[in-house]
Chains A and B, each alone.
Chain A
């Protein structure tokens, strides 16, 4: 137990003291099978990476607001990358869900949750806000009605810093 506590303290504090919290240039797979690089989106401005799945009810509740933010702030260089973690069971239903909702943001696939784990996702939904320099500036787990207000505040703050 002492060893574990010590390990937790080391792991939780060491990176904050000496490390950077920058994201790697992740290769993201689009719905059509083609790939894009995360850093290509960051060149335009801040990026919000949203992890969701068709079976996740809170994710669906939240997405309506993500779409609003994409429409509102895309002219300022802001991008939403919506990454579906649907596995082989429900992969075929991702596109039809997005189309039926008329969402405009880009959707990617991560069926074995490897991108999710690289960005330290834990629960669904997970949101990670990355500034133009590639640094993670905010993250949020789960969705409660009203969380979108905090999310919009963080997006505005990221855009303000960029400009």
Chain B
């Protein structure tokens, strides 16, 4: 009897308590199976709770295995927050963003499996004039490296743990704002050679100044890391009516790494800290073919600018023009022992010398509505040149020889949507790309011979076309057939035996589909809160970039995917 009384009183207490709390959240269920073993089963639940000045968040994940990343079964993230008046206190998994991210930018981007969150605590006091913030905790980041064992395209195999303490003080005064930030960290860096961990100390200071006026704005951020690491970022816009002219500038120099060790974060310590996720200073393309040739940022050594103009041509039609250019700070030359040595250097503006890894892109886009908003259109053009890697650069006497891998592409992305009267609409995407990728060689030594260009493809030039046809009925469903076609592929990809799906086999009557990846996707909104996605077919693999970080995603061959997203 006592037990029953106790149980009922507790139940009443819990029920009354819970009715005061506002709950919300969302659930994601993902499942995929393909003939090339790109199989996954990933379920995630985010739960938010709110009561008076308290907020709570937790994320549960159940992967078997997940689409990308390490397998988590159970609680992935947890945070409790208290806010009152000007104060905020947070405990648990933190994701903060200071300034433009030169000193601290925590992101959780599951599309590329990048998580730079911090587990710890934060205290903030702010009003519209002043801001003070202190935070501390541990931060564990996992990355992919072929310098350690168990390399797998989908699962990171190298983890670094950092203990971090950071703070900021900021001031807003009319249209001006400024601030000072600092960060101290102790890195626990596993050394595969000694099988022990090295301890590395990081120390950073940063200064920010920005102005936000009616006809112009600008922002500048400077960061100093350890003894000689320096980073600078600036951006601004000038407005003439509805037209704007803008610029961004980056000068990140945190480590001097030779072309051989540039991407080796396992055997090289120091350099840019993992919490530094800085502006890339080039446009992040969202079209299929341009997204695959995005320049890969080196946060340790990058110098560049972006200039842009944007404005309406006429009603509902907008034009934007962009130009970006970047390079490394130095040239690297091999000595007689074939060891890399730093030579020369630029510091103000990027070099166009191929031995400085230059990257440049011109991009223009016109988009808008026409015919009384019935037609949406977007037509773009991009010309891209990127020196991806330096293989050798040797000087001996009067002779010089070098070779480097480069990419050159012209891309035309287009997108058209036509809307009918009865909530039906048709969506067409067409992208065309001509791409040259290979190794350029030079030697002024007649004895060496000269092979100016060797393509990485089986043909000199790769021609890519991406076509997608969609039919939709608002607000219920959409169906899309997409085809990614290429005339040639890199030898390493061609070597893989492709598993063609039924759509590709049917299309084979029309053209040779050995290098066509076809996919059909159906999206159905079961309710306003629940969305079901089903897809069947193949997806072409490639390099996908986000937040300046790129990773190779393997192809998905002849399989199906199921996804359910539901909010509550």
Contacts and interface: CB of A to CB of B under 8 A. Distances in A.
Interface stretch (B22-30, B482-490, B492-500): B22-30
A19 B423 contact: no
Contacts of B175: 32
A155 to B, nearest CB: 14
Interface of A: 4, 7-8, 11-12, 14-16, 18-25, 27, 31-35, 55-57, 60-61, 64, 87-93, 95-97, 99-102, 111-114, 117-120, 122-123, 136, 138-142, 144-147, 149-150
Contacts of B393: none
Nearest to A136: B24
A117 to B, nearest CB: 7
Interface stretch (B258-266, B304-312, B434-442): B304-312
B83 interface: yes
A156 to B, nearest CB: 16
Interface in B273-309: 277-280, 283-286, 308
B330 interface: no
Q: Which of B96, B475, B547 has the most chain A CB within a 10 Å cutoff?
A: B475
Contacts of B23: 14-15, 19-21
**From B22, B24, B29, B425, residue with most partner A Cβ within 10 Å:** B24
A138 B244 contact: no
Interface in B226-263: 235-237, 239, 242-244, 246, 248
B217 A100 contact: no
A100 B244 contact: yes
Given A35-B128, A118-B55, A123-B565, A88 B101 contact: yes
Interface residues of B, number: 92
Contacts of B217: 95
B95 A112 contact: yes
Contact of B376 (A7, A119, A139, A145): A145
Most central of A21, A32, A88 by chain B CB within 10 Å? A88
A83 B107 CA distance: 17
A100 B283 CA distance: 18
Nearest to A27: B83
A91 B233 CA distance: 13
A64 B369 contact: yes
B293 to A, nearest CB: 16
A27 B84 CA distance: 11
A56 B28 CA distance: 21
17 contacts: A11-B568, A18-B18, A19-B21, A33-B177, A96-B246, A99-B242, A99-B244, A111-B101, A119-B24, A122-B28, A122-B567, A138-B528, A140-B475, A141-B567, A146-B423, A147-B475, A149-B474
A88 B566 contact: no
Given A89-B547, A102-B242, A146 B474 contact: yes
A15 B21 CA distance: 9
Contacts of B26: 120, 122
A117 B106 CA distance: 14
A142 B487 CA distance: 34
B45 interface: yes
Given A87-B107, A89-B547, A145-B472, 13 more contacts: A11-B47, A20-B20, A35-B128, A64-B373, A87-B277, A88-B277, A88-B279, A89-B284, A92-B235, A120-B46, A139-B567, A144-B475, A145-B425
A89 B548 contact: yes
